[in-house]
Amino acid sequence: MLDQVAERAQKEGSIGKAGIGALLLFKRLRADTPWARALMATADADVRRATAAATAAVRDTALSLSDAARAGRAALAGLPGFTRGDALASTVLTAAAPHRMAVYDRRAHAGLRSLGIPLSNASGRYSRYIAALDHLLTRAPSPACAWTPRDLDIALYCLPPDTASA
């Protein structure tokens, strides 16, 4: 599902409500919430405007990965459901730039913690998460040094729960 939305985002330069709905399903998030209703009541043109700005930011190779993540996250902040939390926002940003961004979730966060890498829940967490992944990847041995942030987020997600909570 993420790959399909990413393919459309590559062609269109933005993600509409249908794509966000698909990403909700991918993330297994609840769609029967006040923010989901508010997002669905938002004009698709407004959603696409915000996601186009976010897409441009995360694809901007003149920006570091963490700066691109910060700018992309900020572009989404005005949409219902994107004011707090990084699960859905990170998925939208990853669909917009799958080779530069990564999906954030609690298990990947726990995976970082198990590696001794702290990540606070304070504002700006997503850009700090991307910075941590970038830091790991720039110091990784072969073949992991060729991984994308998305590859690393999957690896962190797949750590056994007892390892991730240690």
List, in order, residues 6 or more apart from 48 with CB less than 8 Å away.
14, 15, 16
For the chain, give every domain's residue range: 2-96, 106-164
SS3 category, 144: helix
Scan for tokens 């990540």, then name that residue.
119
Query: Do residues 38 and 5 touch, judged by C-beta distance below 8 A?
Result: no
pLDDT of residue 104: 95
pTM of the predicted model over 0.85: yes
The pLDDT averaged over each successive group of 10 residues in the chain (166 residues) is 86 88 73 83 94 97 98 96 90 95 93 91 96 94 90 89 52
Q: What is the DSSP letter of 145?
A: G
